[in-house]
Amino acid sequence: MLRRTLVMLAASAALLAPSAARAEDGKEGEDLCKDPPEGLKVETVKIGTLAPAQSPWGKVFTTWHNAVCKKTDKALDIRFYWNGQQGDEGSMVDKMKSGQLDGAAITAVGLSKIYKPILVLQMPGLFRDWPTLDKARDALKGEFEGGLTAAGFTLAGWGDVGLAHTMSYGLKDKDGNTSGVVSPEDFKGQKPYMWTDDSVMPVVFQVIGGVTPTPLSVPMVLPNLTNGNVNIVTVPSLVAQQLQWASKLDAINSNVSGAAIGALVLTNQRLGSLSPEFKAILVDTGAKAGAALTKRIRDADDAAYEKLKASKKVVTPTAEQIETWRKLFVDVRKRLGQGVFPKELVDRVEKLAGQ
């Protein structure tokens, strides 16, 4: 039930409405920027992502790419680096700052490497449904987007990753039957994954006590699940499914521990180098992309959860265990407000979440 600000990925793309692309924007998998006219000067915008090309995020990113190609007659090309080819999100942020990348689709963990206060939305125990998260994000996004702008970035579109559940492998009850994580005590003696770049989860494990998490970059989680060095992850169902983690797990907690979000960001330096027309096309379509992707990802995450429930042991905390988590998360947020985030911001987010 522990809340991970994970993984994976963020806002995205589609010039079009939330439905699939129109026929004139190209068939799925088709590259409308392929074979530009001879002599055409092509501007290329390089964007990194942890998302696989064939994932729901990847498919919408490809639609966005084709829409931009069509609107600019192939003169502006978005080149995506899929599946962590440019490293974990911290590495992608570093590469954007050095000019090696022009943008990235990243989660709140990656965004915090640019403007740390954004990660406050990933504090544990606050957002277990989308309407509550939407209310808080809408109230704070102006402040957050201003912080990103001051740091040299433009937020082209907010996006969602999914609702996080704690999943595990190999936990047993007193009778030797498959069990899962339902209380903080269940983490003790296990091997939970912790995202290396995350500033929130170390505090959670400190408050639980007696837990030694395994800090990893996202691309290293699958091999460590495979070799047994990790046996607990807290991520959205869609992330576990698309990154192939789900096959290494045998139990899932039915409670939502948090809403994982992200965004598509572009460097101001690269945007400033584009013509006003191309800049407007890139930013405007990116904003529409985030809005278009929202329903698609939320629906896909719901479907992934239903599929995991059918193949895993589903565990549900008792009322007493839920209260134990509530008290623990209150303590975690108090500590986060003593150094990681300003206390005033923590208080505001708690109020927005109805805490």
* In-domain check, residue 255: yes
Structural domain includes residue 313? yes
Element (H, E) at 142: helix 130-150
67: in domain: yes
Tokens encoding 328? 């623990």
DSSP secondary structure letter of residue 186: G
Q: Is 10 inside a domain boundary?
A: no
Confidence of residue 295 (pLDDT cuts 50, 70, 90): confident
Q: What is the pLDDT of residue 293?
A: 78
pTM listed for this prediction: 0.87
Residue 46 and residue 191 in contact, taking contact as beta carbons nearer than 8 Å: no
Range of the domain at 85: 23-352
Confidence class for position 29, pLDDT limits 50, 70, 90: low
Q: How far apart are CA 195 and CA 221, in angstroms?
A: 9
- Token pair 């954004």 in the structure block, residue: 118
* Region at 112 (left for phi over 0; alpha for psi -120 to 50; beta for the rest): alpha
* 216-271 pLDDT tens trace: 999 999 999 999 999 999 999 999 999 999 999 999 999 998 999 999 999 999 99
Name which of 122, 100, 102, 101 is nearest 111 in CA terms: 122
Kindly state whether residue 6 falls inside one of the protein's structural domains.
no
**pLDDT at residue 309 is higher than 60:** yes
The alpha carbon of 337 is separated from its chain's Cα centroid by a whole number of angstroms, namely 23
> What percent of the chain stands above pLDDT 70?
92
Instruction: Domain count for the chain, please give it.
Output: 1
CATH of the domain at 213: 3.40.190.170
CA atoms within 13 A on the CB side of 156: 33
Has residue 258 been placed in a domain? yes
- Examine residue 195 and state whether it is found in any structural domain, yes or no: yes
> Dihedral of CA 70/76/82/84: which sign?
negative
3-state secondary structure of 39: coil
**Quick check: is 57 in a domain?**
yes
Which position has the higher pLDDT, 143 or 157? 143
pLDDT band at 28 (very low <50, low <70, confident <90, very high): low
